[in-house]
């Protein structure tokens, strides 16, 4: 498909922006969502979570802080096998996925995210699938990423799903569809959400127009 010079410049500007800040933005959003989900899941299961699981998870996070990917993966496997019915299993998988991603071990990152998507509660499943779509985007597996994003997500993740769809569609040079996805993300996103500014930047970078806010009735 041919593009005029203005569209080509928009695509180039967007891709340069995303190449520089994309992974950072994605992880910041996912960490924030994960913290929120972890809080809710903790409250509903805290009476049944074991002291051993807590201790193992603490050691795992320490290994992650030290960027010891091999140790993180070993400990995550231990937590997942022993405590797959608790919040710690999915939490460990998400931490292990990030550590593997930072170590450029995308195969392991995808496996950990898939584990969380298969074993976590509905919130963790949504988070894991959202992050997995980002890894697939990095791998240029665009059709797989879109197929994943068209799956089941909790309603509170609707804006993030549309935002990620926009990212994938931009990578495919489907700018009209990407603009529609970013507009849908803004429509579903709370006006006070700081992520709105990021979506607006991406929308404008591909020639979209941020809708004017409606005046209160």
What does DSSP assign to residue 141? -
HSE-CB for 166 with a 13 A CA cutoff: 30
Residue 217 is predicted with a pLDDT of: 45
Residue 43 is predicted with a pLDDT of: 56
Question: pLDDT tens, 50-79?
Answer: 678 888 999 999 999 999 999 999 999 999
Question: pLDDT tens, 125-155?
Answer: 999 999 999 999 999 999 999 999 999 999 9
d(CA 149, CA 130): 7
On the question of pLDDT at 201 being above 60, the answer is yes
d(CA 195, CA 166): 14
Its pTM stands at 0.74
Higher pLDDT pick, 158 / 17 = 158
Going by pLDDT thresholds of 50, 70 and 90, the confidence category of residue 194 is confident
Going by pLDDT thresholds of 50, 70 and 90, the confidence category of residue 216 is very low
Give yes or no for a contact between 11 and 206, defined as CB atoms under 8 angstroms apart. Answer: yes
């Amino acid at each position: 498909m041919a593009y005029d010079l203005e569209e080509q410049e928009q695509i180039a500007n967007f891709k340069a922006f995303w190449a520089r800040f994309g992974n950072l933005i994605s992880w910041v959003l996912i960490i924030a969502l994960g913290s929120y989900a972890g809080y809710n899941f903790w409250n509903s299961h805290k009476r049944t979570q074991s002291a051993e699981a807590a201790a193992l998870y603490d050691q795992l996070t320490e290994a992650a802080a030290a960027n010891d990917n091999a140790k993180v993966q070993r400990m995550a496997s231990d937590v997942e096998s022993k405590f797959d019915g608790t919040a710690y299993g999915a939490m460990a998988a998400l931490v292990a996925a990030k550590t593997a991603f930072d170590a450029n071990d995308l195969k392991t990152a995808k496996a950990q995210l898939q584990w969380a998507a298969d074993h976590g509660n509905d919130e963790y499943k949504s988070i894991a699938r959202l992050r997995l779509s980002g890894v697939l985007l990095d791998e240029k597996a665009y059709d797989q990423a879109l197929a994943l994003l068209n799956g089941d997500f909790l309603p509170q993740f609707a804006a993030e799903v549309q935002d990620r769809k926009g990212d994938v569609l931009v990578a495919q040079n489907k700018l009209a569809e990407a603009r529609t996805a970013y507009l849908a993300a803004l429509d579903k996103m709370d006006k006070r959400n700081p992520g709105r500014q990021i979506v607006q930047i991406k929308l404008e970078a591909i020639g979209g127009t941020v809708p004017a806010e409606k005046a209160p009735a």
